[in-house]
Amino acid sequence: MNSELIQKYNIPGPRYTSYPTVPYWNKEGIDIKDWKQTTIKSFNESNATEGISIYIHLPFCESLCTFCACHKRITKRHEVEEPYLETVLKEWKLYFDLFDARPIIREIHLGGGTPTFFSSENLSILLNGIFELADKHSDFEFSYEGHPNHTSKEQLQTLFDLGAKRNSFGIQDYDPIVQKAIHRVQSFEQVKQVNDWSREIGYTSISHDLIFGLPFQTEESIRDTIKKTIELKPDRIAYYSYAHVPWIKGVGQRGFDEKDLPEDVEKRYLYELGKQLFFDNGYVEIGMDHFALPTDSLSLAMESNKLHRNFMGYTAGKTQLMIGLGMSSISDSWYAFAQNEKHVEDYQERVNKGEIPIFRGHLLTDIDLTIRKHILDLMCNLETTFNDELSKEVKIEIINQLAEIKKDGFLIFEGNKLKVKEEGRMFVRNVCMAFDLRLRENKPTTRIFSKTI
């Protein structure tokens, strides 16, 4: 890839896990009545057919990883487990009380933090508590994230018995120098152990998360990390670009100097190298930053144009309503977004008062909903179709914004259809930015996004 083009398009931009992106949500937030109404509306429209999704944020970690931009609480005190889970189940009951029918859960995901910080017994209490008030969809999928150093065979078995068939392990990099810099030290033997246990127990999809662009990464270290990863043959691989945003995340991402980070052309080379190594070993590319074996449900969903993307990442099935439980979780009713309180104490206080604990949100306008569909199609399928929902003026404005990317050979227009060419996949976030009316109308005056490449 031409280094000048990489530098040209490697600009700060949203990752588009939502539209509008969080910094462009309504400054006045969302009224709790509006949030409840859109949640009920979405539930009534979709629960009986596609079901709903639930994301549960389990924020505790025993140590701080300096690459992490998630909302977490660092502690070794495991007595925090029970009161936190009691609060999560109280929050779930607050949502349950909104509905006129029993929820049907299509997908549930435990994220963090470190979900496997919690004991097997407490994880059982959590999941059994959720399903006291819900049924499982016929295509039910339960997944969770695990730290290789803090995941026991007992936990793996317990979660499998509760319905989990897919798990994800944060690997990031195997190089000792990189691991020390990001404060995530774990051996290949530890990862192999939890991977082998998962296969032995019967998990049908195992995912490994890797990151490129970390401090001190080199071509040699990436080759070694991917070689070790391929040896374990996970069904999915997330190959994320490190998002360096210390101006947002503070000291956690200042554990190394920015000069230690590979940038622009060097960083993109690490991605292209990894991508080719995945291809050489039978993986296919899914959307942005993801790879999967052809037999995995993500690959099958992509082939049938059923791939979906939300705050849980890429999923093999769409649900209109996603309820986020736990501190900092984001919920999505399709018509609105709502984020919970970011601090454990504030979250617990609100729930214990009988309040759905949102502190900010966004009620989507008609034009938001239209742009959201376009961006979702681009992020999942690398194409979108213009229709009459956009005014002629807005459509022309978007096409004009895309002119430069088209001129550089990364887009194809076929009638009303826009397609991102394979060689333009790395610029899909830039393409989405052309549709982002809110970003264009109010360009940030300070750095709030990581770079697009």
pLDDT in tens, 380-399: 999 999 988 899 999 999 99
Burial class (CB in 10 A: 0-12, 13-18, 19+), 251: exposed
Query: Within the chain, which residue ranges are assigned CATH 1.10.10.920?
Result: 366-441
Out of 103-107, 150-154, 283-287, 441-445, least confident range: 441-445
104 closest CA partner among 128, 129, 131: 131
The predicted pLDDT at position 78 comes to 95
DSSP label at residue 451: B
Neighbours of 8 (CB within 10 A): 15
Strand order in the sheet with 322-325: 284-286, 290-292, 236-241, 205-212, 164-172, 135-146, 104-112, 52-58, 322-325, 330-332, 336-340, 358-363
pTM as predicted:
0.93
The CATH number, out of the four listed (1.10.10.920, 3.40.630.30, 3.30.1330.10, 3.40.640.10), of the domain defined by the range 366-441: 1.10.10.920
20-363: CATH architecture: Alpha-Beta Horseshoe (3.80)
DSSP tally for the chain: helices H, then strands E: 16, 19
The predicted pLDDT at position 237 comes to 97
H or E element at residue 75: none
Residues 208, 232: contact at Cβ < 8 Å?
yes
167 closest CA partner among 135, 194, 186: 194
The predicted pLDDT at position 11 comes to 80
pLDDT confidence tier of residue 246, bands split at 50, 70 and 90: low
For residues 376-381, give the mean pLDDT.
94
Per-residue b/e over 78-111, b at no fewer than 16 CB within 10 Å? eebbeebbbbbbbbbebbeeebeeebbbbbbbbb
Q: Does the structure show a pLDDT above 70 at 64?
A: yes
134 closest CA partner among 53, 40, 49, 45: 53
**How high is the mean pLDDT of the chain?**
92
Residues 6+ apart with CB under 8 A from 263: 213
The predicted pLDDT at position 253 comes to 46
Q: Does the structure show a pLDDT above 90 at 420?
A: yes
What is the distance, to the nearest Å, from the Cα of residue 357 to the centroid of all Cα atoms in its chain?
21
H or E element at residue 187: none
For residues 85-98, give the mean pLDDT.
98
The predicted pLDDT at position 247 comes to 41
Out of 3-12, 287-296, 316-325, least confident range: 3-12
For residues 61-81, give the mean pLDDT.
89
Query: Within the chain, which residue ranges are assigned CATH 3.80.30.20?
Result: 20-363
For residues 88-107, give the mean pLDDT.
98
Angle at alpha carbon of residue 408, lines to 406 and 413, rounded to 5°? 20
For residues 193-218, give the mean pLDDT.
96
Crossing angle of helices 120-131 and 81-96, rounded to 10°: 10
